[in-house]
Structure formats: structure tokens, C-alpha cells
Amino acid sequence: MSRASLHLGTHGADEAAELSITHALLRLASDGELDEAVRVYLPRRSTVVFGRRDTRLPGYDAAVAAARSAGFDTAVRVVGGRAVAYTANAVVVDHVRHDPRAVETMDARFQSFGEQYAALLAGEGVDAHVGPVPGEYCPGEHSVNARSAVKLVGTAQRVVRHAWLFSALVVVDDLEPVREVLTEVYGRLDLPFLPGSVGSVRAEAPHLDTDAVLDLIVGLAGGETSAGLPPGVLDRASSLVDQHR
């Protein structure tokens, strides 16, 4: 990853608020008010985050109800893809950059970031690769998997005028609750899903807990750690948060 301002930790009351903060960073980058920033945080709560396309499916309301019944909050994200689920034992990485060539470099970005995350995990003894897993949640050609059998890291992008957001979700632990809630959610959305495709870093490398994975990702991100967030982000985020609930 390139050298960017690095922002650690949560700043919102729930995951919808966190998503709105990243959305605000993307808006600032698009407007040329922000060059590059990376957010790395551990979610405060267990959450199912739906894609925009999910919200248009007939089973969406039932899927939201199922997630909440399982003890998961719900939110909606701006990046592409389908529903994902995570607990506090996950690491979210959001990389935002002002880039006039954002559209034409999209595929290369997927490949490059995927390779970086796979190499990071491989360095810790995980049999990690870039590529899809049959039946995975939020399917994508550039998921990071273990043993070509289970998904460990999901990646997604949002490209806007002169800026991009690359988001990665690393599922570190709590494998069974994540599998169970995704089974309920995907069933109600009537989307293909195989519970056995869900993996976790801890299941592949028991020596890696959430704090250890967080440290590895912070090291990968590099950049200068900044106190707080860039000026104006929280104000702009407050105007966007309803788009994520």
C-alpha cells in the first residue's frame, strides 16, 4: 500500500455511522479536498452489511429481521457486492484516494490489493490465495481464500469521479455465528450460498488473534498515523448516515 494518512479506530455509534464516515472521505477525495487516507478499525458490534442491490430484493425486509433476530445490527454500504457479516473479531480496512484514473485502474487495484492481503496471511502460515470460492458470500473474483476452500477476506470497490474507495473485510474469528447468520440472510434473499465456504483467519492460523491481525494490517497500510479524522469529515458524514441505515 502507498503512504497515506492512517486513521485507526471507530468514531461512530454503530456500523452505519462508520460507513458514513468512509463515504464522507470518498466525497472529500472526489472533490479534491483529500489526497489519500486509510481507515483501519475493529467493529463495535456484530453487523450484517447489505449491498445496495440486496435492498431491492423481495426478501430484503425478512433478511434484515433475521439478522437482527440473530443479534446482528444491520447497515447498507456504498461499495459493490452482496451481504457480508462480521463481529467485533474482524478487521475493516477502507482505503480512499483521489485519482483522476480511478475507473481505468479498477481491475488492477482488485488484483494488487488481493495479492497483498494473501501475501500477508501466507507470511503467517496460511495457505492463502486470490480467487473465488464456490458458494461464497458476496462472491468476487478477487476474494482472498484459504486452501481454495474458504473465504477469509472480502474486497469491494466504489469508484466515483476522480476518486476510489477500496474496502476489505478480514474475518478473524467467530466463524460459527457468521456462518449461521449468513445462512439465514442469504436464504431470505434467495441468493446462492454454501455455509462451508465461510472461513476465518483464526481457524487457519490459531496463533493469530484479532489484535495480531490488526497489527499486521496496520503495518501493511503504512503511512503516518493521524489523530482523529480530517477536518469536516464528521459533519459531512452526519448528512450521509441515513443512506446507510
Kindly report the average pLDDT of the chain as a whole number: 96
Question: Of 88, 103, 94, 76, nearest to 39 (Cα)?
Answer: 94
pLDDT value of residue 78: 87
Identity at 190, one-letter amino acid code? D
Query: For 219, phi and psi rounded to 5 degrees?
Result: -65, -40
Reported as a single tens digit per residue, the pLDDT across 85-97 is 999 999 999 999 9
Domains of the chain with bracketed CATH: 5-238 (3.30.930.10)
Q: Is the pLDDT of residue 183 over 90?
A: yes
Contacts of 178 (CB under 8 A, 6+ apart): 85, 86, 87, 171, 198, 200
pLDDT value of residue 2: 52
Q: What is the DSSP letter of 52?
A: T
Return d(Cα 233, Cα 236) in angstroms, integer. 5
Return d(Cα 53, Cα 176) in angstroms, integer. 26
Return d(Cα 181, Cα 177) in angstroms, integer. 6
C-alpha cell at 126: 496460511
pTM: 0.96
pLDDT value of residue 226: 85
- Among the ranges 112-121, 216-225, 229-238, which has the highest mean pLDDT value? 112-121
Reported as a single tens digit per residue, the pLDDT across 231-245 is 899 999 999 999 999
Q: Is the pLDDT of residue 1 over 90?
A: no
Reported as a single tens digit per residue, the pLDDT across 138-169 is 999 999 999 999 999 999 999 999 999 999 99
